[in-house]
Amino acid sequence: MSLHQNTKTKDLIDTATIWAILEEVTDPEIPVLTVVDLGVIREVHTQRTGQVEIIITPTYSGCPAMHTIEVNIRAALQEYGYDQVQITTVLSPAWTTDWLSDAGREKLRAYGIAPPVGSASKRALFGEEPLVACPLCNSTNTEMLSQFGSTACKSLYRCKDCLEPFDYFKCH
C-alpha cells in the first residue's frame, strides 16, 4: 500500500507516517536536503481529531527560507489529507549543525558542498578553524576565500589541489 493510500483512510494518525511525509519536503536553498536531514523538525505531535503540530527550529533566527519551508510542510501534509496542520517555531535551544543527519552530510558532500566539520559547540568555545575537505577531490589542502558564501549558512572555500571553489556549510 502506498503512503498516499495509507493516509487517506486514517483513523489514528501515525507519527511515523508524518515523519515519512516530512522526508519529502526539501530545503529551498539546498534542494538535496530534506527538512528532516537539516534537523529543523524538532517534534511531531498528533491527535485523534486529525490535528497535526510540527515543531520547527530555524537554522538561524533570520533565515529567509523558513517561511517557504513552513508553506512546503503544510502543502505536503495537505497533499496526504492532513488539513489541520499547525506549525510552531521554537527558537530555544538554537539550531546547530550538530543536528544535521549523517545522510544529510553525505548528500551535501555529493552535491558539492563540504559538510560541517566537528562539533559546533567546541568550535564556538575555542575558535578553532576547521580542516575542511574538498567535496570534489577530498583534499584537505583548502583555504577559505570568504566567510560569506552563496547563503548565510555557507562560506566560500577553494581547494589548493584541484583549484575548484566550493561552499562549506558553516558550523553553528
User: Tens digits of per-residue pLDDT, 16-44?
Assistant: 999 999 999 999 989 999 999 999 999 99
Grid cell in block for residue 129:
578553524
Length of the chain: 172
User: Tens digits of per-residue pLDDT, 89-132?
Assistant: 999 999 999 999 999 999 999 999 999 886 655 444 455 677 89
| Closest to 21 (Cα-Cα) out of 87, 100, 76, 88 | 76
* pTM score of the predicted model: 0.76
